[in-house]
Structure 1
């Protein structure tokens, strides 16, 4: 009996195993929320691989024509219809998935297996609902078609005993007859095996001591970072000031400082920092009520060390950089809470929302140079940071830390 070409046989079983993997993963993605981020990226990569292999399979079909049909009548017509439907499934599922990602409100970059960038399709946002519904419908239709295809193969091999199945096996070997179909089961089991385990309650982020209503109104990591930077720099300048009360000195933040943030994510932590920020600080550490601070952060400079997540941060779900490129913290006055320790209350403006914000910081050193370090706790929801489906696993508060050196201006 004439067989399919070896290229066609390879592509047939490779695509079948990958589809089984996709089905196993796809069933779980919707319920995973933020925990499924990495798996979602893998699902996209495998989907594009299925699309590429299907196009190759179509090319091979015309380069190496398939064996002639062995059955006519309605049974043959049904078999042909199932084959056509399977090709539509193998093309339609990844294409609708690609369209879904391309039209999503939050633009998540796609790197195929973390290496090859995949551009978004130039489709209007209105297509998103259609792509989402179509992707799910095609998946279920595909499962039904696969079941019919398998039933047909078993009918020929077990009931009709016509040896039709040997056309898609590279050699007449019982071992291959068992091993190749088993790849489908392996693909499905692998897809289930890599799913995250049961959701674990996230470890709370260490909060600072309660400060009346300050921490409750604290909005975003970035804001706190900004406040911390300002207060810290202000304190530094004050500490360097002379004993005599006079105009408070201004301070310059030196290169090498850092504003970092961390948020819990389903029992793990996502940590990052802002690489671009400036601070205008005037303060006498001995008279902290003289503080006058303004910190400005470039929101597009946020980085968590992961290309996928970094690509999400500027979107509307998180920082909304297109409409609100910067966040600012402004504070008038600070209060000493202990030796070289201070608290500053001000206003944080982030994503167009202004809320009260408090930071705490300490100073080290003396005279014209001071080292500043501090922390804050920010309630992200107050600013609409993390307001989408991919943020469901994030903790409500974000921990902010900062450290830098400031020098008094002459």
Structure 2
């Protein structure tokens, strides 16, 4: 019996396994929210791979001889229709998916398998709805065609005993007759295996009290050791703060090597990152914290969580809107001692065009001329419109901010 070419056989089984993987992953994506971010990237990457392999498969079909049709009549017409439909599915599903991503309100960058950037198609935003609907409809039609194709192969091999399936098995090998169809099951199992634990159910967001006042939320998140400082130390700090400073408070220069980091719960994981570009202007006499004048400016485009996909999303409108609001600033006039070397500064945070009260807590340590500064704050992200899209639904309402740097007193 004449067979398909080796390249056609290879492409047939490879695409089939990848389609089984896509079907398994696709079923679990819709309700995962932000937890499914990496899976969406895999889904897009595998989809583009299927598109590329299908184009090669079409070229092979047009240039390489293939076995003649085995049946006529309505059975042959049905087989031809299923084949044509499968080709349309293998081309249409990735193309509509590409259009869907390209026209989405939130522009999510795509790096194919984490390496190759996929450009967005030049389509209007109005095309998003038809792309989304089309992708869903094509997927379900493709699943039906996939099942019909498998059923046809089973019919020919086990009911008609005509050996038709050997046309897609190199060397008429009984071992390959088992192993190659098993690739479909392996692809489906692999797709289900990479879904987050708990299947399609959304993981619970870490428990947090409703935020009714940003300043109150920050106070509630203050480190426990600050709240449990002994009374005598707090009293001494308060007394020291009440003394009149001698001369103007010193200014401090932030030394290289500092860090401003952030972290937020995301279902059953934590996303952590930092800002690589920021400046701080600090004037303060540690013995008289009411003299403090603090201004910190952060370049929002410098945010990174160490993941190319997510880093590409952070400057977008869903998160920091860095094009319209390139920087965030925290300013505070005066601070309050909460214990030996520990302070609290209440000021304002301006982020994404919104200004709200914000409190930070920090600790000073070291010699008179050089001090090490470590501190933290809790920011209610919704108050600033950070994480306002579909991919942020699993994010916790509060973002923990930490900072650590050394500062040298100016002479």
TM over 0.5: yes
1:378 pairs with 2:379: yes
1:27-42 correspondence runs (5 A): 27-42=27-42
Match of 1:319 in 2: 320
The worse-fitting range, judged by mean Cα deviation, of 276-285 and 292-301 is 276-285
**SS where residue 247 of structure 1 aligns?**
coil
Match of 1:263 in 2: 264
Q: Give me the TM-score of the superposition, normalised by structure 2.
A: 0.88
Aligned residues of 2:218 and 2:378 also touching (Cα < 8 A): no
1:90 pairs with 2:90: yes
Aligned residues of 2:332 and 2:348 also touching (Cα < 8 A): yes
* Off by >6 Å, runs of 4+ in structure 1: none
Q: Find the aligned partners of 1:180 and 1:338 in 2 and give their Cα distance.
A: 70
Match of 2:129 in 1: 129
**SS where residue 395 of structure 1 aligns?**
coil
Match of 1:148 in 2: 148
1:34-113 correspondence runs (5 A): 34-113=34-113
Q: Find the aligned partners of 1:189 and 1:365 in 2 and give their Cα distance.
A: 57
Q: Find the aligned partners of 2:306 and 2:158 in 1 and give their Cα distance.
A: 55
Q: Find the aligned partners of 1:203 and 1:8 in 2 and give their Cα distance.
A: 50
Q: Find the aligned partners of 1:313 and 1:215 in 2 and give their Cα distance.
A: 27
Q: Find the aligned partners of 1:267 and 1:152 in 2 and give their Cα distance.
A: 43
Aligned residues of 2:264 and 2:271 also touching (Cα < 8 A): yes
The alpha carbon displacement at 1:385 in A equals 0.8
The alpha carbon displacement at 1:13 in A equals 0.9
Match of 2:300 in 1: 299
The alpha carbon displacement at 1:112 in A equals 1.7
The alpha carbon displacement at 1:269 in A equals 1.4
**SS where residue 354 of structure 1 aligns?**
strand
Q: Find the aligned partners of 2:14 and 2:315 in 1 and give their Cα distance.
A: 37
Q: Find the aligned partners of 1:367 and 1:375 in 2 and give their Cα distance.
A: 23
**Could you give the per-residue CA deviations for residues 149-171 of structure 1, whole angstroms, max 9, x where no partner exists?**
22222333333333222212213
The alpha carbon displacement at 1:138 in A equals 0.6
Aligned residues of 2:214 and 2:357 also touching (Cα < 8 A): no
**SS where residue 289 of structure 1 aligns?**
strand
The worse-fitting range, judged by mean Cα deviation, of 47-56 and 282-291 is 282-291
The alpha carbon displacement at 1:398 in A equals 1.2
**SS where residue 388 of structure 2 aligns?**
coil
Match of 1:222 in 2: none
Aligned residues of 1:202 and 1:268 also touching (Cα < 8 A): no
Count of residues paired in the alignment: 384
Q: Find the aligned partners of 1:313 and 1:390 in 2 and give their Cα distance.
A: 12
